[in-house]
């Protein structure tokens, strides 16, 4: 695509990067077929190609974002399904990230929207605050259908996603020693939401790693990876969170990997090198940290895992989280691990389409998110599985809100099969 940025505009490294991306796009439209929002409504402006065009116009003319552009960029899930489909290698993720920052800097959202976004940005990345918010949501949860009926869809979406039981305490900083001779040492990114909503995910991760001789460190000072605010265009906050984590992780000695079991966070940590490429104090360390980041399934795939018991013959519908399959291109390892441990693994048809979770998307865009969930649940239930497995708490929560099938994290099944406890979601089934 031809672009007409001035030399002065290209002096800005973010604009220079976006120009490179825009030039790579040949407008062929292959990406439209895999874009969930285009598949739902067939609106070109809700396709990657349409959004790329809107972003080009906005950046090239140095225009403040308009309400119309914001609608279509906000509807993008950042699921990245358009990236593997693109024959020209267009790096849509970095382009839309830049567009979101431009929107945040140049567009004043309506008051309600500003307040909602500020609340999400000040609650979700902080497990203690998030825990209090979940306690407050518990008694209001039965009101979700009523709130939906009177048009308060975002509030209703938040209540639907809140768990029915009280939230748990997040894990504190500590080291979990390897069982037997130590064969490796990793830092675990505990995540902001995991411990509060589903502590069994980190428990299973720690159990399976330590059982296989890996010491697991949860260092003091690591917080949110920054992805939540990054996807809202609040770049200063995202970069501050990234820098704080980099400071802590680089001070640890002898780390083989930073293990991440929330694939949305994994995609962001793997991008720290790019996000901080122009910061001389952090660029080199950020790239090193990105190189150390591994999804838990990637790390476990290199360990000699064996089934420790006779497992019941269970059919697992494996939902490949967008951030894992498109963002990190990790698709094979989780399925191979499950199959090796005795599960019958089924791919979900149209598995490239997002379930509608996408960070805070299911709260900010409840209509698209609900329709994507319904579609996903239909395709999963059509497989008649015994359970659903996914590698991201966001997908697990989103899908579980629309089906009676138990939904678990892949690592819970791996832990169970290698000698750990049965996942809590399967105990009742
Ligand atoms: S597939 Fe790639 S090159 Fe073609 S329109 Fe989409 S982003 Fe552009
Ligand atoms: S990231 Fe997902 S929703 Fe956004 S344009 Fe690409 S495919 Fe469509």
- Closest atom of ligand 1 to 29 CA is 5
CB of residue 221 inside a 6 A radius of ligand 1: no
CB of residue 193 inside a 6 A radius of ligand 1: no
Rounded Cα distance between 201 and 207, Å, is 10
Over residues 24-33, mean pLDDT: 96
CB of residue 48 inside a 6 A radius of ligand 2: yes
Helix intervals (H) in 278-409? 283-292, 296-301, 322, 332-340, 361-364, 366-381, 393-400
Nearest to 356 by CA among 372, 338, 367: 372
Rounded Cα distance between 254 and 257, Å, is 9
Rounded Cα distance between 94 and 109, Å, is 23
pTM for the model: 0.93
> How much is the pLDDT for 342?
93
Q: How far is the CA of 90 from the centre of ligand 1 (A)?
A: 7
Over residues 112-134, mean pLDDT: 90
Q: Which of 30, 31, 35 to mutate to test the pocket of ligand 2 (most atoms within 8 A of CB)?
A: 35
Res. 118: pLDDT tops 70? yes
Over residues 252-259, mean pLDDT: 96
Q: Judging by beta carbons within 10 Å of its beta carbon (0-12, 13-18, 19+), is residue 244 exposed, middle or buried?
A: middle
> How much is the pLDDT for 30?
96
Q: What is the dihedral of CA 120, 62, 87, 97, to 10 degrees?
A: -20
Largest CA distance in the chain: 66
CB of residue 81 inside a 6 A radius of ligand 2: yes
> How much is the pLDDT for 238?
96
Span 145-174, pLDDT tens digits? 888 888 888 888 888 877 777 777 788 899
CB of residue 36 inside a 6 A radius of ligand 2: yes
> How much is the pLDDT for 302?
95
> How much is the pLDDT for 383?
98
Q: How far is the CA of 358 from the centre of ligand 1 (A)?
A: 22
Q: Which residues pair with 216 in a beta bridge?
A: 176, 186
Rounded Cα distance between 306 and 418, Å, is 6
Res. 422: pLDDT tops 80? yes
Cβ atoms of residues 95 and 103 within 8 Å = no
Span 201-220, pLDDT tens digits? 999 999 999 999 999 999 99
CB of residue 88 inside a 6 A radius of ligand 1: yes
Q: What is the DSSP letter of 359?
A: T
Res. 195: pLDDT tops 90? no
> Whose atoms come closest to the Cα of 81: which ligand?
2
CB of residue 25 inside a 6 A radius of ligand 1: yes
Task: pLDDT band for 429, please (50, 70, 90 cuts).
Answer: low
CB of residue 49 inside a 6 A radius of ligand 1: yes
Structure-block tokens of residue 229: 């605010």
Q: Which of 20, 26, 84, 93 to mutate to test the pocket of ligand 1 (most atoms within 8 A of CB)?
A: 26
> How much is the pLDDT for 208?
98
Q: How far is the CA of 32 from the centre of ligand 1 (A)?
A: 8
> Whose atoms come closest to the Cα of 23: which ligand?
1
Span 280-338, pLDDT tens digits? 999 999 999 999 999 999 999 999 998 887 888 999 999 999 999 999 999 999 999 99
> How much is the pLDDT for 164?
76
Q: Which of 27, 46, 84 to mutate to test the pocket of ligand 1 (most atoms within 8 A of CB)?
A: 27
> How much is the pLDDT for 145?
85
Decide which of 262 and 311 is more confident: 262
Span 1-16, pLDDT tens digits? 899 999 999 999 999 9
Look over the chain and give the mean of its residue pLDDT values, rounded to a whole number. 94
Task: pLDDT band for 73, please (50, 70, 90 cuts).
Answer: very high
Over residues 396-406, mean pLDDT: 95
Task: pLDDT band for 133, please (50, 70, 90 cuts).
Answer: confident
> How much is the pLDDT for 309?
79
> How much is the pLDDT for 160?
80
Span 348-381, pLDDT tens digits? 999 999 999 988 899 999 999 999 999 999 999 9
Over residues 184-194, mean pLDDT: 93
Q: Which residues contact 89 (CB under 8 A, 6 or more apart)?
A: 24
The pLDDT > 90 percentage for the chain reads 82
Over residues 29-55, mean pLDDT: 97
CA distances from 370 to 30, 128, 251, 366, 378 (A): 25, 28, 43, 6, 12
Over the Cα atoms of the chain, what is R_g? 21
Q: Which of 20, 23, 29, 55 to mutate to test the pocket of ligand 1 (most atoms within 8 A of CB)?
A: 29
Over residues 123-144, mean pLDDT: 86
- Closest atom of ligand 1 to 32 CA is 6
CB of residue 29 inside a 6 A radius of ligand 1: yes
CB of residue 365 inside a 6 A radius of ligand 2: no
Rounded Cα distance between 149 and 145, Å, is 6
Helix intervals (H) in 109-234? 111-123, 127-137, 144-149, 153-161, 194-197, 199-211, 227-230
């Amino acid at each position: 695509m031809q672009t007409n940025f001035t030399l002065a505009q290209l002096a800005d490294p973010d604009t220079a990067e976006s120009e490179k991306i825009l030039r790579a796009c040949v407008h062929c439209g292959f990406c439209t077929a895999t874009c969930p929002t285009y598949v739902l409504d067939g609106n070109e402006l809700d396709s990657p190609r349409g959004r790329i065009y809107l972003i080009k116009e906005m950046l090239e003319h140095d225009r403040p974002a308009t309400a119309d552009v914001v609608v279509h960029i906000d509807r993008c899930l950042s699921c990245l399904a358009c990236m593997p489909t693109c024959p020209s290698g267009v790096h849509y993720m970095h382009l839309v990230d830049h567009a979101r920052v431009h929107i945040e800097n140049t567009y004043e959202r309506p008051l309600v929207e500003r307040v909602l976004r500020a609340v999400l940005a000040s609650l979700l990345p902080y497990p203690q605050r998030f825990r209090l918010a979940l306690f407050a949501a518990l008694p209001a949860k039965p009101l979700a259908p009523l709130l939906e009926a009177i048009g308060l869809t975002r509030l209703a979406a938040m209540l639907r996603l809140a768990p029915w039981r009280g939230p748990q305490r997040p894990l504190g900083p500590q080291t979990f020693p390897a069982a037997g001779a130590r064969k490796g040492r990793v830092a675990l990114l505990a995540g902001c939401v995991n411990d509060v909503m589903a502590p069994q995910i980190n428990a299973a991760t720690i159990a399976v790693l330590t059982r296989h001789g890996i010491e697991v460190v949860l260092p003091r000072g690591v917080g949110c990876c920054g992805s939540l605010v990054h996807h809202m265009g609040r770049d200063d906050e995202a970069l501050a969170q990234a820098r704080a984590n980099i400071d802590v992780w680089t001070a640890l000695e002898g780390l083989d990997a930073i293990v991440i079991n929330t694939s949305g966070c994994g995609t962001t940590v793997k991008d720290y090198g790019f996000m901080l490429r122009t910061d001389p104090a952090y660029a080199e360390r950020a790239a090193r940290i990105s190189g150390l980041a591994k999804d838990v399934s990637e790390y476990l795939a290199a360990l000699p895992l064996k089934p420790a018991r006779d497992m019941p013959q269970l059919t697992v519908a494996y939902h490949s989280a967008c951030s894992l399959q498109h963002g990190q291109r990790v698709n094979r390892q989780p399925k191979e691990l499950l199959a090796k441990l005795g599960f019958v693994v089924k791919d979900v048809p149209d598995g490239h389409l997002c379930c509608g979770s996408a960070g805070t998307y299911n709260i900010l865009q409840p209509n698209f998110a609900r329709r994507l969930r319904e579609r996903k649940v239909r395709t999963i239930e059509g497989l008649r599985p015994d359970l659903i497995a996914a590698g991201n708490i966001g997908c697990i929560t989103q899908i579980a809100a629309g089906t009676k099938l138990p939904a678990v994290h892949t690592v819970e099944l791996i832990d169970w099969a290698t000698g750990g406890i049965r996942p809590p979601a399967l105990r009742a089934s």
